[in-house]
Amino acid sequence: MRSSVTGRLKSSESWLSSDGRQLEDKHLIELWKQCSVDVVANLDLHFKYANWYSAFFIALLAAYVVGLSQYYKSFGAVLFLTLPLLVIVLAQLGKYAMDRFYQTFLETVTVLAKLEKLLGLGGTIGTKSCAKSATALWPEDKQLIPYRYFKSRYDPNVVSSEEFIKRSLKLGANKTVHDTFLAFQITAVLLFLGGIALFALFQTCMQLT
């Protein structure tokens, strides 16, 4: 089965090992399998930590709202006012951490894309059939890999993997994470200002009475 698959995956390019030997298709397929697993694992790690950060921020903001509603009449409210500030700082640090996870994912994607090109998965599909009336499945498709992957990975304007990573770092799932963390920061700022206003208003009322 493997020999029939490797026999169909032909490419005009060759990848050489460190000692100059040409790597066969079966070796490239093994690398492709490993990279495919790594891509899923890296993206899963990105989602895992994004969810962890989000849950932590929600817990901090909830503790702030509950604590301030009970202690806004005392100077203990000042301690709770530090929680929104903590969310703002941690969210900014979290963006850097998530960028690192997503960058690792993108680096694996670039290796995967190179392997797919060497194996011919990104090239034009060639079909062969003994039956003249046979119709190819989805005849408009030109590549074996999904078009969305092909379009993002084989942009002629991108001439290096570093450029691809740089352009993709603020897109996709990582853009969603950045937008989410920014929403947490904005919410924290509003809650912080609201808490200060509430505390100051109560202290002013106490002085007047």
Residue ranges of domains in the chain: 23-123+141-208
Q: Which residues on adjacent β-strands are paired with residue 22?
A: 16
- Please give the pLDDT value at position 22: 60
In the chain, beta strands by DSSP E:
none
- Please give the pLDDT value at position 14: 54
Instruction: Name which of 177, 31, 174 is nearest 108 in CA terms.
Output: 31
- Please give the pLDDT value at position 36: 83
Mean pLDDT of 131-158: 68
Residue 111 — very low, low, confident or very high, per pLDDT cuts 50/70/90?
confident
> What type of residue is 62?
A
Instruction: Name which of 109, 139, 108 is nearest 124 in CA terms.
Output: 139
- pLDDT per residue as tens digits for the range 41-70: 989 999 999 999 999 999 999 998 888 877
Q: Measured in whole angstroms, how far is the alpha carbon of residue 83 from the centre of its chain?
A: 27
Q: How far apart are CA 38 and CA 51, in angstroms?
A: 20
- Backbone angles phi and psi of 138, in degrees to 5: 50, 70
- Please give the pLDDT value at position 27: 72
Q: How far apart are CA 163 and CA 151, in angstroms?
A: 15
Distances in whole angstroms, Cα of residue 151 to Cα of each of 37, 72, 113: 21, 55, 11
- pLDDT per residue as tens digits for the range 5-44: 444 444 445 555 444 456 667 777 788 788 888 888 989 9
Name every residue whose Cβ is closer than 8 Å to that of residue 90 and which is 6 or more positions away in sequence. Answer: 53, 56, 57
By the 8 A CB rule, do 99 and 169 touch?
yes
> What type of residue is 134?
A
Q: For 16, which DSSP code?
A: B
By the 8 A CB rule, do 178 and 95 touch?
yes
Q: How far apart are CA 182 and CA 156, in angstroms?
A: 33
Mean pLDDT of 167-175: 89
Angle at 154 between CA 31 and CA 18, to 5 degrees: 35
